[in-house]
Amino acid sequence: MTIPLLGLTLIALPGPASAQADLAADLQAINASFVCPETISNDAARKTAMDDIGRRLASHRLSYRQAQKVIETMYGLHGCGTGPAGASVSATSAVTP
């Protein structure tokens, strides 16, 4: 799953290459621990998991739209049933500014 996530790091973020490297590392970590929300046993745990991802993405100053694309991509990569908005998600989702 490394190759599709590398495409996510193409988000045009201003700043040094280290910021891009930090984002890439965090995306890998998010991917490694990602669990499809529909498989989490209760609403509180689902909210906690999604809030954690949201905070991590916000720390990289991603826009809401960019963060949503990252989450949609995770849904596709992990074969989750539907995306956060209830629409089917493709594994080829890409992040665009």
Task: Identify the pLDDT of residue 63.
Answer: 87
Nearest to 93 by CA among 60, 64, 71, 63: 71
Residue-wise pLDDT tens digits, 55-74: 999 999 888 899 999 999 99
The b-or-e profile of 61-87 (16+ CB within 10 A means b, else e) is ebeeebbbbbbbbbbbbeebeebeeee
Nearest to 70 by CA among 18, 5, 14: 5
Statement: the pTM of the whole predicted model exceeds 0.85: no
Nearest to 27 by CA among 48, 7, 49: 7
Task: Please list the pLDDT of the chain residue by residue as tens digits (97 residues).
Answer: 444 554 554 444 555 567 778 888 899 999 999 999 999 989 999 999 999 999 999 999 888 899 999 999 999 999 998 545 444 433 333 343 3
Tokens of 70: 């990252």
